[in-house]
Amino acid sequence: MKYQNFKCRDSASGKLMTNPRAKSETLSETTKSYLKEWATERIFGVRNEIKSKYTERGLQDEDKAIDFAIQVLDMPFVLKNEQTFENDFFIGTPDLIVGDTVYDIKCSWSAFTFPYFEKEIPNSDYFYQLQTYMALTGCRKAVLSYVLLDNKQIGHEYKIDDKTRIKTFSFDFDAEIIETLQNKVIECRNFLKQL
């Protein structure tokens, strides 16, 4: 296995940005655990797929959520992105690319997990994921959209305005964060080599 080929998946970029407990360390235990999992998958040829009702719902309703976001955000005609982008450090597949903006759509489990009142992104991992998307695509703007669809599994049907059922967070490309992430990828390759 060639550890120097390690590239961070978009969804794992937040794991690289966690801070180690000791100042003498460059990688956190969270990062190291992720890297051990990455190596194990390659050694044994299997993927560690963690399933939950939340991730299953997100995957099941992904296309519906994307269509809903396109409609409510009044986007021009656009299709879901199917292209995986890759560079020397990262790999990822954003949901939508519209002009100079990359979009990621998240489907909330219920009204109680929907970040209606939040002013900041509730999960910083998604911020880093979108920074990675911008680095991969050349886009300089990103929009994270949480969508609240009816959830028949728990009997929740929402009788509210469509605009109330979407919450967006917008931000710009941050070159310093990408530089930090690239340096972390290099540190990860060194760690994998020592494993």
66-109 pLDDT, tens digit per residue, is 999 999 999 988 999 999 999 999 999 999 999 999 999 999 99
CB 168, CB 145: distance < 8 Å: yes
Could you tell me the domains of the chain? 3-16+27-194 (3.90.320.10)
pLDDT value of residue 112: 93
Calpha distance 80→2 (Å, rounded): 33
pLDDT in tens, 125-159: 999 999 999 999 999 999 999 999 988 777 788 88
pLDDT value of residue 50: 74
Place of tokens 């469509």: 162
Model-wide pTM > 0.95: no
The arithmetic mean of pLDDT across residues 62-68, rounded, is 93
pLDDT class for 58, splitting at 50, 70, 90? Answer: low
CB 145, CB 69: distance < 8 Å: yes
pLDDT value of residue 47: 84
CB 66, CB 80: distance < 8 Å: yes
Calpha distance 167→58 (Å, rounded): 16
